[in-house]
Every structure is written in structure tokens, then in C-alpha cells.
Chain A
Amino acid sequence: MGVEFEPVIGLEIHVELKTKTKIFCGCPMEFGGEPNSHVCPFCLGLPGALPVLNKQAVEYAVRAGLALNCEIVPYSRFDRKSYFYPDLPSAYQISQFYFYICKGGHLEIEVNGEKKKIRLNRIHLEEDAGKLLHSGSSITTSQYSLADYNRGGSGLIEIVTEPDLRSAEEARIFLEQLRAVIEYTGVSDVKMEEGSLRCDANISLRPAGSSQFGTKTEIKNVNSFKSLERALEYEIERQREILEDGGVIIQETRGWDEGKGITTSMRTKEEANDYRYFPDPDLPPIVLEPEWIEEIRATLPELPNAKKERLVKELGLSTYDAGIITGSRALAEFFDETVALFNEPKTVANWLMVEFLSLLNANNMEIQESKITPQQLSSLLKSQKEGKISGKIAKTVFAEMFATGKDPEEIIKEKGLVQISDEKALASIVEKVISANPKSVEDYQGGKKNALGFLVGQVMKETKGQANPGLVNKLLREKLD
């Protein structure tokens, strides 16, 4: 047919707030406890129980809104969203529909070196539902289902974007960068695998250059950044094939099947609930004082984009390196603290990206879980710079620090790893290597200058890597030149 189609994508992202207690009751936000052990009359939907808003949840929503350049709305309200489901005890979810707490906003992302502003529609506060455990694969095919309301009533913010994303990759990058911003604000753990970050995607296609929207589908059950990208790629292809065959897209909700790599229909628009939103008469409106909003703004940390720009402009990192370093708040803070003690940003960045991240990944750990401190890394780097240890030894020491949490000095001392910079001590080893390798000596002296590298290597081998390579080089030349 020859028509080029352009994907139009918008995301709806749920972020679970890391408040001490639930959003409308005093139950603790602790998970993994005995089922139904963190519940009360309110979050069990008992008759007569009433909601009381958690101020910290409001503060966190404002914090996220400020970090995402939203307009903080001074007057907002809660509405009831009604539907029957066993994970929703009162048969309505308290959410914000008519007047929500944050309006507009945007996040600038970088896709293949190009900056792009993705607009947000809004952020609103709501409560989470409980969890169901089915004896079969779903509620309709199960003999029985068990309900655990520990999670029910947890505070969430829902971040809704405008349909500004134009590819599956862009959507994935946006979600990753949004995750970083939220992590920086400290309002959530934002872990997709644990469900504290959840994402649904709306996607439609339209002929390239058209300004109208096509019929969209909503994709649910996406549980990692990669599966968001995969699900959208699949859905783009599915819709493209239908449109190219002259078919029409059915407006529906589709579930992503990670195992099969496909989306399947969950319900069509006709089967959708009428949620019958209306203002919750049990809760007064949220009225925010400008002073309070400014107080919250003042406590915001430097955010990923600003930090990235600073690392590039002021510290001379490449855009790529700065992007990785600022990808998580913990890594960026580790970087800043290390650089404050050892002012060679590029060296620090290299160490973090190459040594540190690969050890973390190999051990499936978060940086916060690691035993290494910025003080320890900086003193390791100082030792290397001062020539106390070689670069190779430094890596060995680092691995030991990672495993044990010991200070580098202690490891160097314990294992006798101090670099040999004593000319006398090295001279005898140099002699020994020269006499043991007549062929290489001959080659070198015959003009094959790289034979020297082999001889240096032999000395390093003899000293188990502890010889100062510069000094070895010098001694060998003195003997052979």
C-alpha cells in the first residue's frame, strides 16, 4: 500500500508512594507480612469506616509534580471510582478524577542523541487495591481465590502523559528516565519487578504526517522496561498489519503475554465499566498553601537532567557517561561524593561504570546494598595515582573491597600488594629476565621495539604484578639500549 504509519503512544504510570502508612488509614506500608495482617476497618471496607488522608502522601505527590514541572493545583478533591471486584473492598477506589493535584508538566528525554520534551497531562493521587491469589489461572477459571488486603489502600500517584511518544524505544526511554526522576525525589522505590512502578500504554497508528488520532488500544500487564518496548513493538506491527489489509482497529484493552510475546484482547470498549465518578463525601478537599509548596520545592534534590548537564559541562564527562552515572540517584550521589574526595571525574566515572556496575550486575545488587563507600573508592584511586599500586592490582583490590567491605589500605597491606618501586630490588629480577629470554633481547636489539613489552610483562609476572611498570621499562632500556 505504501502508506507509512506513525505510532502515537501515551503512558499511564502508577507509582507506589513510600509513605510510612497507607493513604487513608494508619496501617503500615509493609509488605510480605502474613496475609491480611496490615489491615483495619477502613482498608477492609467494613461498614461505617471512614478515610483520613495521609499528609505525607499529599507531600509526595506535590514533590513528584514539582520534579516533573507540573502546575500544582491549590484546590483538588477525591472522587470515588466505582466497580465491583474482590480486591476492592468498598467497591469503589478513592481517586482523583474531576480536580487532581498536579496539572500538565513535562519531562525532557534524550533519544539517539536528540532531546525531546514529553508532555504530561496530569498526576493524581489514589489508593491501591488488594491482591488476589487464584487457585487457577484467573478468577473465572479458579476453584477459589484468596484475597490479601495488606496492599489495599496503599498510596499511589498515577502519572498520565500526553500522546507524545512516537516509538516503542522512545516509550521505554521515557519510562526509564521518569523512573530516575521519581527515584531522585525519594517518594517511591520505583521498582517495576516489585510493582512499585507499573505502566499501561495507549497506542494507535496514523498515516505519517496526519494530525488526527487513530483508534487506540490499551496495553496492560507490562512488567519491565524491556517488555514495555517489546509489547509496543508487537502492537505496532499488529495494528500495522490490520491497517495495511484495510481492516479497522477495535478499541480495547489488551494484555501483554510475556512468555508468548504477544498481546491478547482482555475487554472491548463496550464491556468497559462506567465508573460513575463522583466527589467522595467522606473527604474534604485538599487545599494547598503556596508556602508549603515552596517548602517542598526547596527540598528537591538536583534532578537527573540538571545533574547530567552539570557532569558534561563542568566535569567534562561524555553525554553517554553522564547519562549512565545519573541513571540512578544512588549512583549519581556515589559519583559526587567520590569526586569530592578524588577530583578526577573521568577516572571516577570509568571506575563506577566499568568495575562497579559490572560487579553489581553480576551479583544482582543495587548500589545501596554494596559495602563499598565513596571514601574507600577514592582512597583506592589515590593509591593508584600515587603509584603505590598498579592499575591491575587496583582492580583486584576493588573486587576484594566489594566482597568484604574492607578498606583498600588494609587489603593492600594484608596481601602485600604494594607496588615495588625499589630499583635495587627490581634490578636483579630484570637481570634474571634478560638472561632467561635471549631471543627477545636479540629481537629488541635488532629493532623490534615491541619485544620490550614482552620483557616488561615477564618482569611483572615474576613480581606477581607488583612491579612499578614505568620503572621496569626504564631499567630494561638502561640495560639493553
Chain B
Amino acid sequence: MTSQTVARRAPSGGGVTRWTMRGVALTYLFFLLLLPVGVILYQTFKHGLTPVWHALTTSAAEHAFLVTGEVAALAVILNTVFGVAAAILLVRHRFPGRRLLDAVIDLPIAVSPVVVGLALILVYGSNATAGGWLVRHGFPIIFSLPGMVIATTFVALPLVVRAVMPVLEEIGDEQEQAAATLGANALQRFVRITLPSIRGALAYGVVLALARSLGEFGAVAVVSGRIVGKTQTVTIYVQQEYQNFDQTGAYAAATALVIVAVVSLIVSRFLRPRGGNK
């Protein structure tokens, strides 16, 4: 009995080791994560809610929230459609170049947001062939909404695909084949069988993509031109207000983004696929 207790306790280390490890880990998390977030919440709300409300309802701030919402919504829609299509393609079909396609989808994770912005300027800027043609035909990409949507789409690209793929792999396609033999067409099979079974994972991926899109800064900062009241997003608003010494405005908008992040974190925790323990 005693030897068993000893044996069971031994792997997690003795009392001193355990307390040291616990202390070091929690201290690190406290000073790196909890304290900074606590301090910004304190700074924002130390004079109550009224100044925060005023800071968030200036026309520049309101417009920034509108632009961010618009850009994020479009980027998420694009990435959701693409994400589901790419996931189905990669899981259910074997074709030459499949491995390469799989690898390319992860590329945006490793690319600096600033490089994303530069890349889009080089292709779609008014000095480039494609970009110049688009500008002459009244469809400018850089320094306007389409460029910001493409930049945001780029950085959030892998999230939906990677959320949906494991679930698609797990469910297999027996049900779909059965439905096909019973005469269901591709659309019916997708809407009635595939979609319901990937619903949870898809929602999880969409929340992650939305959080990422709402928070994008570097890529959008490069392609937007950061025009106040026009192409200024909330993250750019935070930076510019801070640099213009409007700390109240910067902290209020930053806190709004912190709240959005925390909410999406909690929602994604509930949605995260848990089954299978993989």
C-alpha cells in the first residue's frame, strides 16, 4: 500500500520539486499574461465607464469598428467557403500534387504579416501590371477595401481548413456513399450529411478565423494606407491614437479588442472538438 503510494507520487516529483515547478510556471504566466491584461483593464476603466464610452463613440472610432467588421466578415466568408472545399478535396481525394497543396495551406502561418502586405502591393499596387490594369478599370485594390480583405484572408487562411480536416477524416464517407446509391446528388449529400457532421468543427474554425481577422494589424497596416475615417481598422486606430498621445482612445479600443478576444476564446473552448482524444 505504502509502496504503491510512493510509486504513484514519484513520477510527478517530490514535494519541493513539485512546488518549485508549479511556482515557476504560474509566476511566468502571471507576469507574461495575467498581469499585463489586468493592467490594461485597470487603466481603461479607472475613471469609470463614461470616458471609455466617449472614446469608443467618436466618429473615427465608430468608423474603424465598421471597417474592421466589414473586412473581417468578407474574409471569413471567403475562407469558410475555401476552407470546406479544400478540406473535402484533401481528405477525400487522391491526386498528384496533393501533398504540396497540403503544405501550401500552412504557408501563411510562417509568413510575416508585413511580407504579406508587401507581396500584395507588388502584385496589386498601381505600379504593377495587374494592379495598374485594375486601377484603370476603376477597381483599385491597394489603399482600399479589397486589398484589406485579401490581406486578412491571407493571414487567416489555414484556420478553417485545419479545423475541419480531422473531423472529415474521422467520419469517413460511408454515409455519403450510401446516400449516393440511394440517389442523393452531390449537393444533397453535402447539405444533409457532410455539413451536419462537420458543423461543430466548422463553427470552431470560423470563430478562430473571425478572431484572427478582427485582430489583423501588420498586413492591413501596409495595404490600407491607414486613412483615418476611410481605411482605418480598429487595430490601426489603437496604434495611431497611442502615437498621437490619445491614451484614453487607444486603451478603450484595445480593451474592446481584449473583450472580443476573450469572448472568442471562451466560445471556441466550447466548440473545440473533443471526441476521439486525438
The reply to whether chain A is a binding partner of chain B is: no
